[in-house]
Each structure stands twice: as structure tokens, then as C-alpha cells.
Homo-oligomer: A and B are copies of this chain.
């Protein structure tokens, strides 16, 4: 199996030809959400970025095992220091339910939102709290190899020791000296050999709810550990691609590299991929500054910063309009432009269904298809793919107005091209197929109301009455407004 795909490797900081370890198999591990609150705009970007990768590799014929984890334990409030309350336990206390009820609630919400965004289910979706035994085994290995040390029931990773043989900071570019000067003298860090050492296992305080027995204490695993343990379990000691948001490079992925390398004596991941962030009007999204928007709020328009509701496909289109390594700035203007663009694309596809073939063609569909593949092969350049598709849109519209023409086989190829790139690979979908039955209902009602009006104008009252009665049987009421334009409604109970 061959491919021309180049992927930007965050580790080497350059684009590299993608060579899977065991073709036709490809293994991908992506860091999923910590499920302690509603899915927000920020979650949609890695989900869509790596869904695009999953779809494209599958399209190329690879058998992809796509693992995306759920973090349901160990992610503490201050993730850089690895200190503070567990995020899920805090929410459980606030909502007065069990931590695992918090997890269930927000996993359900996440799955619903992911389905709305038309992201495919990963092949395996492992949870941290479901892999305690695997994490304990990994800690044992790290202690045995000298990189983990126990202290007062907790176990930490010895970064200085690791740095003697390997290089801590190789992904994020952080320098150890800098870390040393920044993280000194923080309270409660006395257990550690060095304040920047991170926890592999934490002894639980008496009030801590999520706790498991271990050789060192009743406690819980450190946040970084789960991804090393679960990627090794489901993808093997070496696997192809590890993805996640750029905000996870440090400390999360840096610590993951250290753990896996120390345990296995070799690099585990061949390609590291990181999507960039979404800012809101130029600012980082954060609960504290009130610009935090959940996906449900975006889809309903129910947030003070939103001028309107934006559909899931508008969000998906908006994200695909930028290359995954660029930042995207969210604003109503940008979203509205995305909505227009998406609708234009869908409308052209509707027109494409109705195009009549000519005897000859003024378009080179093969060339257009090649350009789409080239863009994807260039580190998943989705905005360029979209720009080529809009070249197709302009062509479709020109055939419609008669200034261009297409022959029968060209028309078939063009339909295949749009099906392949728009629906199969970019994962967009025609929302009018769903909501749209609603839209279609509206359009059909317009025709019926118009016909009823015509009948009334002609004084064919038996016709207009019959229409009213038949609609009533469907639960639809027509109200003649004062200005003469009738309204209709479907009655609720």
C-alpha cells in the first residue's frame, strides 16, 4: 500500500513522509476530553482534526485503529503543577452525585455532540479509571528501571535521572534549567526529589473519593500515566501517530514521552500531531473571562456572545476552513461567513444533481481531483481542499447559467469527487436531510398556502376549505393574518 501523505511531526518540527509501521494497519492515539463539564468549542477542534485524519487514512485503504481516551480520574485542577482537587470529584461535590455519575453525564453529552459534528466513533475509547491495573504495572516497571521513586505512599517520576540518559523537553522545547528555576519552593512538594517531578501515583487524602489499592498506598494514578498505559495496551510499544491539542504538549505529552521512553527504552510514537487553539475575539477561551461557549450553546444560540444559532455543520466547516496548525479566531462574523460558505457548497451540490450533460466538457475533473488529494497529502490542508471544491462550485454554477458545459462521464466524475471529498473525507453532511425535512415541510406549506390563496382569489371556496380541513387533520392550523399573508402552525399538546 502506497501513500503520498506528509505529516508535520511536532517532534522533528518538520513535514515527514508518512510511513506506517505495519501497513495496511495504522495506529492512532488521540487525547480525548476530561469529562467534568459540557463539551465546548475547544473540544471540537481535535475531534474534527483527527476525525479528518481517520477518514482520510481509511479512504486511502488503511485499516486504522483509532484510540481516543476518556479521562475520568486523576486530572487535577492545576495541571502544570499536578496539584489541587480532582476535576471530576469537584464537580461531583457541586452536583451532589457520585464521581462516576458525573462521568456518565458528560460522556453522554460529549458523544451526543460528537455525533452532531459528524465525527466517527473511535475504534476504542478507553477510560483511565478502567485501566488502573495497567497503570500500576507501568509504575512497577518505572520503579524497577530506576525512573520512579516512592515517597510517603506516592510515586514520582525522577526527571533529572531521566535527563541523564534521555532528553526531557524534546517535544515542548522546555529547558530543564528553566523548569528548575520556575518551580522551586512550592508548598506540599516536599515529597519530591525535585519540585518539577511529576506524580505517577498519589496517595489519597481521607476525603478523596476515587481510590484504589496499590503496592504503595490507597490512591489514584497521575494524569499523564493513563495515556502511556492505554496506548501501549491497545496500540503496542511502538505506534504510528499520537494526536492532541497543542496545549497538551507541556506538561502532558512531555511527561508521556518520558514515561513511555523510560519504561520501554525506546521512543513509542513515530509522529506527534498537534492541533492549534481556538481563540474568541483574539482572547484565549476561559471560564474566568466569560467567553466560554459550549457546543450546545452554539447550536441553540443561547449565549450572550452569540448573535444567532450556528449549526453543527457550520462549526465543522468553520474549523476545516483553517489548517489545523493555525489558530482560529472565533467571532460571529467569521461563523456567519462559514455558514454562508457551507450553504453555498450545499446549494451547488443540489444544483449538481440537476445538471444536464452536454456532448463536450470545458472542465478537467481529473485535475481537480488530483489537486484535492495533493492538498490533503500536504499535512491535511483542508482549507486548500475547500478552495478547490469551490472552484468546482463556480464551475457548477457556470454550467447552470450556460457559460460552461460538462459531458456525461465528466458529470459522473464530478459527482463522485464531491461525494468523496465533501461527505466522505471532510465529513460534512447535508443538514437539510434532517432538520431539512422541517425545511421541506415549510417549503411544501408555502406551495399549499399559495394554492389555497389562488383558489380563494378565484372564489373556489370548496377548494380552499378542503385544503384547510385536510391540514387540520394533520394537526396544522392556518391563520390568516391582517396583512393577508397566512401563517401556519403545528399544534403542541
Q: Does A127 contact B (CB under 8 A)?
A: yes
Determine the distance from Cα of A104 to Cα of B32 in the docked complex, in whole angstroms.
15
In the bound complex, residues from chain B placing their C-beta under 8 Å from that of A122 are: 104
B108 touches A121 (CB 8 A): yes
Q: Nearest Cβ distance between residue A133 and chain B, in whole angstroms?
A: 5
Residue of B nearest to A123 (CB): B101
Taking CB atoms and an 8 Å cut-off, the chain A residues in 240-264 that contact chain B are none
Given A104-B124, A493-B415, A493-B418, A454 contacting B463 (CB threshold 8 A): yes
Q: Does A53 contact B (CB under 8 A)?
A: no
Contact with B along A108-136 (1 / 0, CB 8 A): 10010000000001111111011111101
Determine the distance from Cα of A451 to Cα of B463 in the docked complex, in whole angstroms.
8
B104 touches A419 (CB 8 A): no
Q: Which DSSP category, helix, strand, loop or mixed, fits chain A's interface?
A: helix
Determine the distance from Cα of A127 to Cα of B212 in the docked complex, in whole angstroms.
16
A437 touches B443 (CB 8 A): no
In the bound complex, residues from chain B placing their C-beta under 8 Å from that of A123 are: 97-98, 101, 104
Residue of B nearest to A100 (CB): B124
Q: Does A213 contact B (CB under 8 A)?
A: yes
In the bound complex, residues from chain B placing their C-beta under 8 Å from that of A445 are: 444
Q: Does A395 contact B (CB under 8 A)?
A: no
- Which of A111, A234, A493 gathers the greatest number of chain B CB atoms within 10 Å? A493
Residue of B nearest to A433 (CB): B490
Question: Which residue of B100, B438, B447 is within 8 Å of A126 (Cβ)?
Answer: B100
Given A98-B234, A108-B121, A470-B447, A349 contacting B493 (CB threshold 8 A): yes
Q: Does A467 contact B (CB under 8 A)?
A: yes
Contact with B along A442-466 (1 / 0, CB 8 A): 0111011001001000000001000
In the bound complex, residues from chain B placing their C-beta under 8 Å from that of A130 are: 127, 129-131
Determine the distance from Cα of A241 to Cα of B352 in the docked complex, in whole angstroms.
58
Determine the distance from Cα of A53 to Cα of B172 in the docked complex, in whole angstroms.
53
Q: Does A1 contact B (CB under 8 A)?
A: no
28 contacts between A and B (CB under 8 A): A65-B98, A97-B123, A98-B124, A100-B124, A100-B126, A100-B234, A101-B124, A103-B124, A104-B125, A133-B136, A133-B212, A134-B212, A137-B213, A352-B493, A353-B475, A353-B491, A354-B491, A440-B441, A440-B474, A444-B445, A444-B474, A447-B448, A447-B467, A447-B471, A448-B448, A451-B463, A451-B467, A454-B463
Q: What are the 4 closest A-B residue pairs judged by CB atoms, nearest first? A: A130-B130, A437-B437, A444-B444, A100-B124
Given contacts A104-B125, A132-B133, 10 further A-B contacts (CB under 8 A): A65-B101, A100-B124, A103-B124, A104-B124, A127-B130, A133-B212, A353-B492, A418-B493, A437-B441, A454-B463
